[in-house]
Amino acid sequence: MRCIADTAPRPGGPLPTWPAIRLREFRPRDVPLIAQIVADALREHYDASLYVSLSQQWPEGFLVAASPLDRPVGFLLGVTQVEHEARILMFAVDRDHRVQGIGSALMEAFFERSRARRLRRVTLEVRVSNATAIRFYTRYGFGVTDLLRAYYSDGENGYQMARDL
């Protein structure tokens, strides 16, 4: 699978080309499918109005990977709350679409958009138990900057991670 927006060659060669996944900005009608991905992947439920209001803050920072039928199969929701910094608030790919390069395409496109906005750094938080995501972020140059004790609602600790752009 190679995403249309994934222009940079991947280390290890190109991915197989299988149905085109398109990256685009969030639309309010994406909420039900994004909420489903969030419930499954992040074990969280948010009101629909949250996605819509966050999308208004920085529309280019809320990226959706859409199937050929325009159904969201992954997304990355970034915000800018601190000067010169982007923060990834939510990032997930539908279980059946993982390990095909969609997460990478979302992350690379997000870096491009953050640079276009002249941001200098990207931060995020991740559960200490989420080895898959931590490995993914490490591959993208993120390093742990802080341990966030009982950061999650179930009491789990989080890592804050960051990388310069």
Ligand X SMILES: CC(C)(COP(=O)(O)OP(=O)(O)OC[C@H]1O[C@@H](n2cnc3c(N)ncnc32)[C@H](O)[C@@H]1OP(=O)(O)O)[C@@H](O)C(=O)NCCC(=O)NCCS
Rule CB under 6 A: which residues touch ligand X? 15, 41-42, 91-93, 98-104, 126, 130, 132-133, 135-136, 139
Assess contact for 107 and 126: CB atoms under 8 A.
no
In the complex, what is the shortest distance from the CB of residue 117 to ligand X, in angstroms, rounded to a whole number?
A: 21
Beta bridge partners, 114, equal none
Three-state SS sequence of 76-104 = EEEECCCCCEEEEEEEEECHHHCCCCHHH
- Amino acid identity, position 150: A
Of the pair 42, 144, the CB lying nearest ligand X is at 42
In the complex, what is the shortest distance from the CB of residue 31 to ligand X, in angstroms, rounded to a whole number?
A: 18
Of the pair 99, 116, the CB lying nearest ligand X is at 99
In the complex, what is the shortest distance from the CB of residue 102 to ligand X, in angstroms, rounded to a whole number?
A: 4
In 10 A of CB 90, how many CB atoms?
A: 21
Of the pair 80, 130, the CB lying nearest ligand X is at 130
